[in-house]
Structure 1
Amino acid sequence: MTQSPSDLPFPHVDDVGRDSGTTLITRVSEARVRPERFEAFRDFILSTVRAFPDRHPGLVSHEVLLAPPGTLLYVSRWRSEGDLVAFAGEHWRDQPVVLPGEDEYLAAPLQVRHFTLVPLC
């Protein structure tokens, strides 16, 4: 199930990649959530990330993916490494962004991975 955390329009992902000369970076943060706290965590994340497009201009798109009762993914797509540094800090490659109060919902530490788009054409 996919829920869009924002009603703001984003450029299509294809408009950022190969034609613009920019490498799109997809960041996936995986939260292993205590099942009894899943719905509260979902609401907490959705209310927090709604404001991200206004705060982080390098954010091209984002979404929250749910796999109840214990997994939530926050997937964000970024224009450049510099944009990710501005969002997550110098250690963006291996350190997740942990929101204040987030630990109370988690069954395990957040995991973060990054992917780059490989055009099929």
Structure 2
Amino acid sequence: MSSDSHADLGPELRALAQTILDRIDPAVRAAAAAAAGADGPGKCQQVWCPVCALAALVSGEQHPLLTVIAEHSVALLTVVRAMVADIESASAPEQPPPDEPPPPGRSRYQHIPVTVEE
């Protein structure tokens, strides 16, 4: 199998990621809107209580943890979408063939002499 057989893998994965994001986005935004527009505060307002948050979710009440999760989910989705767009716009730098020396100029490689004393 040659390396050319996987040449289209990157664009296919980006297209798959974009399709997944497009399908998840409305659901995440709807859940965030539902969490923000709940009937009212629930009985328990402990910020990090997942049991109370789940109970509030089931009963349609507002809970601080649900609000935090909703806000962060929308933000995370926005970041992932930006990352996919950035990958599409950036092209990978070409690597020189292994037989050729690297181009002259500044490189990140720095020789550090090491002496071992016994």
- TM band (smaller chain): under 0.3
Q: Give the structure-2-normalised TM-score.
A: 0.22
Question: With structure 1 as the length reference, what TM-score do the two structures score?
Answer: 0.22
Which has the greater radius of gyration? 2
More helix, by proportion: 2
- Between Structure 1 and Structure 2, the one with more strand by share is 1
